Structure 1
Amino acid sequence: MTVTEHRAHRCRCGGCGAVTGADMPGQVAGSPSLYGPNLRALAAYLLVFQHVPVERCAQLIADVTGARVSPGWVSSIVAEAALLVTDSVKLIRALLTLAHVLHVDETTTRIGTTRRWLHVACTSRLTLLGLGERSRDGVNALGILPDFRGVLVHDSLSLYDGYPDARHQLCGSHLVRELTAAAEDHPGQWWPGQIRWALAELNKQAGEARADGLTEIPPERARVYLKSFHHGLRVGLSLHPRVSGRKQSPARNLLERLQRRACDVLRFADFPSWVPFTNNAAERALRPVKTQVKISGCHQSETGAAVWLTIRSYLDSARKHGLPAFDAIHRAFTGNLWMPPVALDA
């Protein structure tokens, strides 16, 4: 730790008696003492990216740097950092709205004793996290989906169907898990394994098409798997006919969804060069929030949670562009804020 002392001298004119005081440097003006950008960036990095609890963060800083910071000061850094990265996050939101492909997902988190919903919208290059209800209004609170016109990758949660201007890709990993469960529930039936095999093979063919620089899977490669997919659906529907009433069996519901939304299930095979098979990107973006709760506990206020998520969105987006997390937050504190390049991204 290096301590710099600034002395602002005051002088009185012997003739007129006017007192003139020297101005303090801009970075310390108005404050009797101030920690520099290196230490503030370190505190924000430890709290948000490394999930270190506030008191342990203060102790770690003291042990490593010799600066005896208070837990209260450490806690205040998050709000300051969130304010500094606001312009970058605004641009992230705008670029996500214009993306060709957008991954969305949701999960629960806790604020104090209250359960809240956490939403994410992301691409391979950008991430935006935010709080909201598990409803259309909650999703809209991110400020992206109402104006989104690309391909929306998600699980089969019904609220995402309320965006007709977007095209959809249902997560293949979720469907594979549901088909595996159906195979376990109906061990004598072959249709779950056949559909699962067809989807897996189509995903493999999509990967090979991308590697070869193709914009589509050659028809002769895809034909057998598409035929197996639709044949498995017909067999499954014949074995699980509809019953009177609104409640159907899980197998019937799965089969009807696969049939009714076949285009949304197979869109990755139609556009292998840019539509993904799974929604893993969104799930990876949500995972650090769960880690934060496990290590540091839940946030005690919605304001505290919101500013933490703002910084995390900024750091995740910067890291996707190859900038280390500490460098990204240090740039915010030194007036050289990282901004995402203005380019449409899948």
Structure 2
Amino acid sequence: MHELPDILTLTSDQMVDLIRQLLARVAELEARLSKNSHNSSKPPSSDGLAKKKTQSLRRPSGKKVGGQMGHSGQTLERTNAPDGVVPAPLPDRCECGASLPSADARIAERRQVFDVPVAHYHVIEHRALQLRCPCGREHISDFPSGVTEAVQYGPNVRALAVHLTQGQLLPYGRAAQLIADLYHLEVSPATLLAWVQEASKLLQPAVACIAEALVQAPVAHADESGLRVTGMLYWLHTVANDTYTWYGVHARRGMEAIAAQGILPKRIAVLVHDCWKPYWQLDCVHALCNAHLLRELTFLLETTDQEWNQRMIDLLLTANDTCKEARQRGEQELTPEQIGQIMTGYQAILRSGEAVNPEAAKKTGQRGRTKQTTAFNLLRRLRDHADEVLRFATDLSVPFTNNLGERAIRMPKVKQKISGCFRTVDGANNFAIIRSYLDTLHKQGYNLLDALRQTFQGNPPQPASG
């Protein structure tokens, strides 16, 4: 708490200065209370009971809600090869007393019911055969590769368990219960944990290839978020693009973790991020997430009513629309005139904002930096990193936001919400490895259950390159 001086001992100038400090403090606290998920980087879950209807930063398209004209719908289609046919029986005789032979009946109408079968596990017994040759030599046949125990589980149930716990994020106990309910097969949570450890080991080479692909990718996204491990705060780091996703867990958040993970320090191409300070130490081409900037501008617009905030929001969104239209036309870049117009408007808005948010002067005898307003700090960032903010306009291969990086973080956060935390560091690392593989293959159109099945058969599908 701030200790207030004895008011009776203050001079008039000191009293004015104190009032100004208190007013600034009140304004800061009120602004902090007004922050929510649509005008800051706070998650929607932090809005609490007072949360409002979600406000999107995107502009209305003007189109009607629902499917658009020309959109190909999807519905359940009749199959020409049903697995079974159940004819509805006719009566043996007509009301007039005449016989109605079923062999003469024709199909009046067909209706089909799609459903899943009631499943039950099945057991395959492998038998090694033994035979003695007349010459006296004994011959014993070999078991198939992978059949190594007297009693063991097969690759299908192993794949299902890993997919349920690491892909669909079910806790081990609930996953074991679901397998028992579906297939009448009792599997302990400890067995599921062992399968996850086995899958993690088998998938490490594939995930190393994912990491190397992201080093070479022309555009990548980076983000990080806190993760509870062994009751302590660890950090989940991600690097992603539209083809690959990589996760890593580390006890640190900054450059120590980034250097240890060894992906971002090797990159020289574009890296999209949220302007977090350690990223600027990387020797690559930087691009900033405009979704973060739009939320900050929205916050200032709601708390200051300064018109330059709305002008900057409009400029960034209009520039993004221009880029989208250019990509749809197959163009590789905007024209110099279009880029010049965006740059000129950007700089004009900055000057307008700086005129009403001057830098606070340093007081006589003051040590350290002078505290600046939120608006001034944002304006300075927008000016210092103008090239990075507008990278999406000068290079059409660069997205407007860091959505791919942030989206990669969401599912691990769901995992943490469901399970609370990871009990061991190994468990967190196993999750990061398997999730890297599954998210990458999902982006590349693989069937994840089938991929895990092949993994437990010793032949995991490798992510496509390029």
Q: Which of 254, 257, 269 is 2:381 aligned to?
A: 257
Contact 2:220 2:272 in 1 (8 A): yes
- In 2, the alpha carbon distance for the partners of 1:147 and 1:161 equals 14
**Counterpart residue number, 1:63:** 181
Contact 1:299 1:305 in 2 (8 A): yes
- In 1, the alpha carbon distance for the partners of 2:130 and 2:172 equals 40
Q: Which of 390, 397, 401 is 1:278 aligned to?
A: 401
Offset from partner CA, 1:91-110 (integer Å, 9 cap, x none):
10111000100100011111
**Residue correspondence of structure 1 range 49-60 to structure 2 within 5 A:** 49-60=167-178
Q: CA RMSD in A?
A: 2.1
Contact 1:103 1:121 in 2 (8 A): yes
Give 1:58 deviation, angstroms: 1.1
Does 1:129 pair with 2:247? yes
Which residues of structure 1 form unaligned runs of 5+? none
Give the SS at the match of 2:455.
Answer: helix
Does 1:44 pair with 2:168? no
**Counterpart residue number, 1:190:** 307
Runs (4+) of structure 1 exceeding 6 A deviation are 9-13, 18-21
**Counterpart residue number, 1:88:** 206
Contact 2:444 2:464 in 1 (8 A): no
- In 1, the alpha carbon distance for the partners of 2:339 and 2:315 equals 9
Contact 2:223 2:405 in 1 (8 A): yes
Q: Which of 167, 185, 202 is 2:319 aligned to?
A: 202
Which amino acid in structure 2 is aligned with residue 229 of structure 1?
Y
Q: Which of 161, 174, 181 is 2:280 aligned to?
A: 161
**Residue correspondence of structure 1 range 23-38 to structure 2 within 5 A:** 23-29=142-148, 31-38=149-156
**Counterpart residue number, 2:463:** 340
Tell me the TM-score normalised to structure 1 length. Answer: 0.92
Which amino acid in structure 2 is aligned with residue 257 of structure 1?
R
**Counterpart residue number, 1:175:** 293
- In 2, the alpha carbon distance for the partners of 1:21 and 1:72 equals 35
**Counterpart residue number, 2:356:** 239
Give the SS at the match of 2:243.
Answer: coil
Does 1:6 pair with 2:126? yes
**Counterpart residue number, 1:308:** 431
Offset from partner CA, 1:171-220 (integer Å, 9 cap, x none):
00001111111112211x21111111111111111111111111222244
**Counterpart residue number, 1:150:** 269
Which residues of structure 2 form unaligned runs of 5+? 1-120, 363-368
Number of aligned residue pairs: give it: 338
**Counterpart residue number, 1:227:** 344
Contact 1:201 1:225 in 2 (8 A): no
Give 1:294 deviation, angstroms: 1.6
Give 1:329 deviation, angstroms: 1.6
Which of 1 and 2 has greater Rg?
Answer: 2
Structure with higher helix content: 1
- In 1, the alpha carbon distance for the partners of 2:408 and 2:431 equals 14
Instruction: Answer 1 or 2: higher relative contact order, Cα 8 Å, separation at least 6.
Output: 1
**Counterpart residue number, 2:391:** 267
- In 2, the alpha carbon distance for the partners of 1:223 and 1:12 equals 88
Contact 1:194 1:228 in 2 (8 A): no
Tell me the TM-score normalised to structure 2 length. Answer: 0.69
- In 1, the alpha carbon distance for the partners of 2:240 and 2:249 equals 15
Contact 1:198 1:226 in 2 (8 A): no
